[in-house]
Amino acid sequence: MKKKKVLFLCTGNSARSQMAEGLLRHLAGDRFLAASAGTHPAGLNPYAVEAMREIGIDISHHVSERVDTYLGERFDRVITVCDRAKESCPVFPGAPKLLHWSFEDPAAATGTFEERMAVFRKVRDQIERRVREFIEQEAIETSPVPGGG
- Which domain CATH number covers 9? 3.40.50.2300
9 is catalytic: no
Average pLDDT, the chain: 89
Q: Is 108 part of a structural domain of the chain?
A: yes
pLDDT tens digits for range 31-77: 999 999 998 899 999 999 999 999 999 999 999 999 988 888 889 99
Determine the Cα–Cα distance for residues 97 and 62; give it in Å rounded to an integer. 24
Q: In the prediction, which pLDDT does 46 show?
A: 97
End-to-end Cα separation, the chain, in angstroms: 19
Instruction: Please state the rounded mean pLDDT for residues 86-97.
Output: 65
Q: Single out the catalytic residue among 89, 109, 118, 135.
A: 89
Q: Is 46 part of a structural domain of the chain?
A: yes
67 is catalytic: no
- Report the number of distinct structural domains present in the chain: 1
Determine the Cα–Cα distance for residues 86 and 144; give it in Å rounded to an integer. 32
Q: In the prediction, which pLDDT does 149 show?
A: 47
Provide the whole-model pTM: 0.89
Contact 9, 78 (CB under 8 A): yes
Q: Residue 58's domain spans which residues?
A: 4-142
Q: Is 148 part of a structural domain of the chain?
A: no
Q: Single out the catalytic residue among 6, 82, 85, 127.
A: 82
Q: In the prediction, which pLDDT does 16 show?
A: 96
Q: Single out the catalytic residue among 10, 23, 52, 57.
A: 10
Q: In the prediction, which pLDDT does 62 show?
A: 95
Which has the closest alpha carbon to 73: 33, 41, 101?
A: 33
Determine the Cα–Cα distance for residues 88 and 39; give it in Å rounded to an integer. 8
Kindly indicate the confidence band of residue 106, based on its pLDDT and cuts at 50, 70 and 90: very high
23 is catalytic: no
- Residue 87 confidence (pLDDT) above 80: no
Q: Is 100 part of a structural domain of the chain?
A: yes
- Residue 97 confidence (pLDDT) above 70: yes
Q: In the prediction, which pLDDT does 90 show?
A: 60
Q: Is 147 part of a structural domain of the chain?
A: no
Instruction: Please state the rounded mean pLDDT for residues 99-121.
Output: 95
Q: Is 149 part of a structural domain of the chain?
A: no
Q: Is 130 part of a structural domain of the chain?
A: yes
Contact 33, 61 (CB under 8 A): no
